[in-house]
Structure 1
Amino acid sequence: MNYDALVEKIILLEYHQKLLLKMIGDAKQPFYTMVIEKSLREEDVVAFFNHCDQLSIDLEEQKAEGFVHFHPLFDKFKEGLHPNLRAEEVIKSCLAQQLFTPLMAELRKYMN
């Protein structure tokens, strides 16, 4: 199979993938749906989960120290996101899928 045929098959697969996402529509996994829509790699998702794990630890430590405002944590969250992602959509999809719920519930307070 030549290069042009491979590229054509990839384009077709991407189109079919988009159609499948529309077919499942009201998915119970909005974060993973967003991962597919934004064409993130597995390494990108693993890095995101590691980032959120660390931020969750930071949040608990800051709460234990008596912090009540976590805007710097929100800024740190945004800085660690993949360039294809927007903080607001990530927070909403994580909350809907119940990923990192305490962290995302706190970060939601700082969305514009």
Structure 2
Amino acid sequence: MDLAALLERIKRLEYHQSLLLEMNQSTKHALYRFIIERGIGEKEAQKLFELCDELSMELEEQKAEGFVHFHPLFTKFTMKLHTGGLPAEDVIAACITQGLYLPLMTELKKYL
């Protein structure tokens, strides 16, 4: 194993440790648990959070414009997750359990 790979593993362990500390304070950190179980690094997790932030804003804009069907958001969500190898149903369930992005995840869950 080369030095760069070893340093990346150390960074991931440090990130997971910080999440474990958060989980210790509450048992409802299902998304953090999912991140750790899947071995997702900080950069990948940040991309997931950015995706959820972006789609949450799009959902609010579409609702304000009178949209009632949000299947295109679901498609966008699943396509982005697919590139990272994450199952949409697991991410949606974890976010709902943890109480993250509830309006978005509630709408996306309808299309599972």
Matched, 1:86 2:87: yes
**After alignment, is 75-84 or 39-48 more displaced?**
75-84
Tell me the residue number matched to 2:75.
75
Amino acid at match of 1:94: C
Matched with 2:47 is 47
1:101 aligns to 2:102 (yes or no): yes
Residue 35 in structure 1 maps to residue 38 in structure 2: no
Q: Which amino acid aligns with 2:63?
A: K
Runs (4+) of structure 1 moved beyond 4 Å? none
Question: Structure 2: how far apart are the matches of 1:47 and 1:101?
Answer: 18
Q: Which moved more, 1:96-105 or 1:75-84?
A: 75-84
- Structure 1: distance between partners of 2:48 and 2:58: 15
Distance 2:73 2:80 in 1: 11
* TM-score, with length taken from structure 2: 0.74
Q: By percentage of residues, which structure has more helix?
A: 2
**Identical amino acids, percent of aligned pairs:** 49
Distance 1:84 1:74 in 2: 16
| Letter of the 2:60 counterpart | E
Question: How far 1:84 sits from its partner (Å)?
Answer: 3.0
1:96, 1:83 → 2: CA distance? 21
Structure 1 residue aligned with 2:59: 59
